[in-house]
Amino acid sequence: MTVAIHQPNYFPYLGFFQKLAQADVFIILDNVQFVRGGYMNRNRIKGPADVQWLTVPVAKKGRCYANIDAIVPDWDQPWVRKHVATLKNAYSRSPYFEEIMESVVVPSLTSSESRRCHLADLNTLSIRSICAYLELSVPIRIASALDAHGQSTDRLISLTKAVGGDCYLSGPTGKEYLDLERFEPAGVEIRYAHLQPVEYAQRFQSFTANLSILDALFNCGRDVLEMVNTHSAGGVS
């Protein structure tokens, strides 16, 4: 059984879901350190003035080295309203704007805001909403809820085995940071996903790759599932 693992990013890019689609189980790695300036609380979209960021402000005091599951959005700021307005400005004329706002964006943001939940929960909810819309049925598990141990490579192996997996699906850059010699003695195979940008009909100037999947969803709707499956099927080495 193949297991993929990734931090919970904010409305992740298409490649995140290509990787998820290749796995039998997908684990959201919520109990590792939050990285400021990464994609855990922000992502890129494309508007009339080219690429721009959607950023979730987070409470910083006392959390400089906190894990992702301890990070809380600053719910006292009106960022949800601003994100909705920004998306409307950028995509209101896109073919699937109303559908994606009603099925994915608004439910994810308003539900999270009403519960004033942690960032990891917000991101997990948005990931689940996107999977539901695309009818991606890969089971999603949460790392902090699993009995796993170790650091770095050992933790990935432990998480893989905790859900009954015998194959860890790494991103294409895994060879650069994983301790590959740890896998075979642990009885876990390692494989690599080939994640390639998919070009699709996109508004505003020339095509920009690796934006939040929201860009593809607003422009292509459920056709995004074909992009996910076409570029994941047979794309593992």
Model confidence pLDDT, tens digit, residues 9-60? 999 999 999 999 999 999 999 999 998 889 999 999 999 888 999 999 998 7
DSSP letters for 25-75: EEEE--SSB--TTSSSSEEEEEETTEEEEEE--B--TT-TT-BGGG--B-T
Terminal-to-terminal C-alpha distance of the chain: 15
**Contact, 45 vs 86, CB < 8 A?**
yes
**Contact, 13 vs 214, CB < 8 A?**
no
Query: In the prediction, which pLDDT does 61 show?
Result: 62
**Contact, 210 vs 187, CB < 8 A?**
no
Distance CA 47, CA 8 (A): 24
Is residue 237 predicted with pLDDT exceeding 80?
no
Identity of the highest mean pLDDT range in 192-196, 203-207, 225-229, 233-237? 225-229
Distance CA 45, CA 13 (A): 10
163-214 confidence digits (pLDDT tens):
999 999 998 888 888 999 999 999 999 999 888 788 999 988 889 999 999 9
Distance CA 54, CA 56 (A): 7
Looking from the CA of 159 toward its CB, the CA atoms found within 13 Å total 27
Query: In the prediction, which pLDDT does 234 show?
Result: 45
Angle of CA points 59, 100, 37, to nearest 5° = 30
Distance CA 113, CA 121 (A): 11
Amino acid (1-letter code) at residue 233:
A
Full-model pTM: 0.93
Closest by CA position to 106, among listed 129, 137, 124: 129
Distance CA 36, CA 17 (A): 22
Map out the domains of the chain as residue ranges: 2-230
**Contact, 111 vs 125, CB < 8 A?**
yes
